[in-house]
Structure 1
Amino acid sequence: MGRLDGKVAFITGAARGVGRSLAVRFAEEGADIIAVDLCAPVAGVDYHESTPDDLSETVSAVESLGRRIIASAADVRDFDGLKAALDVGVAKLGRLDIVCPNAGINTFADVADMPAQTWQNMIDVTLTGVFHTCKAALPHLAPEGAIVITNSVAGLKGAAGIAHYSAAKHGAVGFMRSLAHELADRMIRVNSVHPTGIKTDMVVNEVSYRLFVPGDPNPTPEKLAEATKGENLLPIPWVEPRDIANAALFLASNEARYITGVALPVDGGAFIL
């Protein structure tokens, strides 16, 4: 018997990385999945972004576990399109119990050098996208349901070069805590998970190599791992997507039935450094 038997989860940014891990981990515990992802580039983002083939891999991984999945391309910046994709999924799967606003982007720039559009893109995807996801879900979300927002340790503290990212993630914490108040009378819990760097394409990419291993003509994941160990209290360079999915699973399950309004770090101690 799975911890999410009979439940349906809506996950954004589901094509790869943490989003795929959420879909797979929840399916392992008995949930059916409504999955969306942009599957296209976002202007100003330098690393390789998800594709329709990536989303198809998520579909195959969930179906291999014997669970149902309704997947489509949708942009969290487009409320009407996102809502339409979710409405189709709920119509086909019959209910909605868990919402995981997970889609996000990562770019680097000091405030003095940051184009206004870089700031706006970050807010639109990483903060407004959370609002759109939750707003679209609320009419469907069952009593005693759960919302688990993928956030970041940057939502708990700032750092140079990511003011836009940190501001969006801090904003999502305030949104999470306010929404926890609004939904408490329906016994719907709202929490967020705050990773350190995660071993995904958003972190292990050429941009990160240039930032953490500057001037090296032959960067490798191993060199990046060594260079980023100091970012965490534990002697690790990053966490794995499944670590975040496990935390989200706990918060979405009945084991956390009285936990709401919590910002849970899964960060190797990065927050307390």
Structure 2
Amino acid sequence: MAAAGRVAGKVALVTGAARGMGRAHAVRLAKEGADVIVLDVCAPLPSVAYPGASRDDLHETVRLVEVAGRRAVAIVADVRDHDLLCSEVAVAVDRLGGLDIIVANAGICVVAPWDRATPEILKDTLDINVVGVWNTVMAGAPHLVARGGGSVILISSAAGLKVQPYMVHYTASKFAVTGMAKAFAVELAKDSIRVNSVHPTGVETGMSAGGGLQAAIGAAIEADPRPAGMFTNMLPVERVAAEDVADAVLFLASDESKHVTALAMTVDAGVTQY
């Protein structure tokens, strides 16, 4: 018998689920009654300054979902690989009996001012943050159609609504995700599938906390301090927690948002209003 909860009896697919926001989404959905397909590449990522997630990280996400009393199916796959993603998701959906929720969370962030960015940085960012999101929807949406409806949640960024300095490539990718969510919402509406995007400010994860990413931002600010204020949140917090973003994802995944689609939902501490 399904556990009581806001997404009880549903099945979710979460990409980039080995740690950080992806893990937070998976665990939050599990605690509210969903079984979860957790997918991650579990390997170093191109161009990025921070270490990639590991298989042990993904196994820990599985453990946390199971501790919450729900089933988890782990997939090690690259969201850039359309055919592999489709086949692996189909197998996992068959094991869990359907699919109701897609959370396209996998993404990378590379800090590089315009004159330090390389063609490789642009390609890697667009391939993972844009093509990977498209692949995720294409792998999962047919299963939502078969189910008779569902919710698709694309993780964009504050940078998908307002320019993020020192990373033209990242801003471009996240604006693309924002538009993709609205376009998918239009076409999937006839199948009772809602599509929304979520736009966090900086999030306290392995990607953003300390290390190479923060050092790169610091160096960029030192070289050109004028845009630095664009990172300032309206509320007196430097970053939000991954669990704060997961709360928004849960709302969009649940029937509480049954008439919400094509929304760009911010969890940004007001940064996009400056």
Q: What is the aligned counterpart of 1:196 among 187, 195, 201?
A: 201
Q: Is residue 2:184 matched to residue 1:179?
A: yes
**Residue 112 (structure 1) shift:** 2.1
Distance in 2 of aligned mates of 1:192 and 1:184: 15
**Residue 192 (structure 1) shift:** 0.8
**Residue 139 (structure 1) shift:** 1.5
**Residue 184 (structure 1) shift:** 0.8
Distance in 2 of aligned mates of 1:137 and 1:161: 33
**Residue 44 (structure 1) shift:** 1.3
8 Å CA contact 1:228, 1:237 repeated in 2: no
**Residue 213 (structure 1) shift:** 4.8
Q: What is the aligned counterpart of 1:75 among 54, 74, 78?
A: 78
Match of 1:246 in 2: 247
Distance in 1 of aligned mates of 2:215 and 2:259: 44
8 Å CA contact 1:149, 1:193 repeated in 2: yes
**Residue 160 (structure 1) shift:** 2.2
Match of 1:99 in 2: 102
Aligned residues between the structures: 262
Cα distance change of structure 1 residues 177 and 45 upon mapping to structure 2, 3 Å threshold: same
Write out the 4+ residue segments of structure 1 that deviate beyond 2 Å after TM superposition.
Answer: 211-214, 227-230
Distance in 1 of aligned mates of 2:197 and 2:26: 17
Distance in 1 of aligned mates of 2:122 and 2:39: 24
8 Å CA contact 1:45, 1:107 repeated in 2: yes
Report the AA paired with residue 242 of structure 2.
P
Q: Write the mapping of 1:1-273 to structure 2, written as runs, cut at 5 A.
A: 1-141=4-144, 142-211=147-216, 213=218, 231-273=232-274
What TM-score do you get using the length of structure 1 for normalisation? 0.92
Deviations 1:14-54 (A, max 9, x none): 00001001110000010000111000011211101100000
SS of the equivalent of 1:75 reads coil
**Residue 205 (structure 1) shift:** 3.0
Structure 2 gaps of 5+ residues are: 220-227
Distance in 2 of aligned mates of 1:15 and 1:173: 24
Percent of matched pairs sharing the same residue: 44
SS of the equivalent of 1:56 reads helix
Deviations 1:224-273 (A, max 9, x none): xxx99962010101000011110010011110000000000100000001
Distance in 2 of aligned mates of 1:204 and 1:116: 26
